[in-house]
Amino acid sequence: MNIVMMAGLLALSAIISVDDIKNRRIKNTLVVALFPIFIGISIYNQVLGAGIINLLIVLIVGSVLFFLGTMGAGDVKLMALYGILFENLMSLLLVISVVGGLLTASYILYYVSKKDYATLKTRGIPYGVAISVGGFISYLFVYVYHI
């Protein structure tokens, strides 16, 4: 069953990442579609209680960051959803941060090498990619490799 969940999680992560790269937006329909799937995965892994607490923490802190203009609403909702999957929110956030840092550095290097600073500034970084990839890597570490 865990392989099916991993394959589904990987497919959904890829869809979200590609859509965020193309449109710089995470569609509510994707987030709504993910919700029951992620609830099912958290029930299967017996972490629903902690997962709901993680969801609420991320939504509260993320809402503040959204209103301060430092994080997109779709990113907040997506990160909250990934929080449902885990008992330990901090390890998830750490992996997402590392992936996000690498993603940001690569985008900066790419646009600086092209001397296209305006595009970097206006389009920003598709952080849904970091959230999706970081969430998937965290899932592998916790539920496959038991790290």
pLDDT tens-place string over residues 117-142: 888 888 889 999 999 999 999 998 99
Please give the Cα distance from 67 to 48 (Å, whole number). 28
Which domain covers residue 61, as residue numbers?
A: 2-144
pTM exceeds cut of 0.85: yes
Q: 35 with 51: CB under 8 angstroms?
A: no
pLDDT band at 3 (very low <50, low <70, confident <90, very high): confident
Tell me the three state secondary structure of residue 84. Answer: helix
pLDDT of residue 1 exceeding 80, the answer is no
pLDDT of residue 87 exceeding 90, the answer is yes
The count of domains in the chain is 1
Percent of the chain past pLDDT 70, that is, above it, reads 99
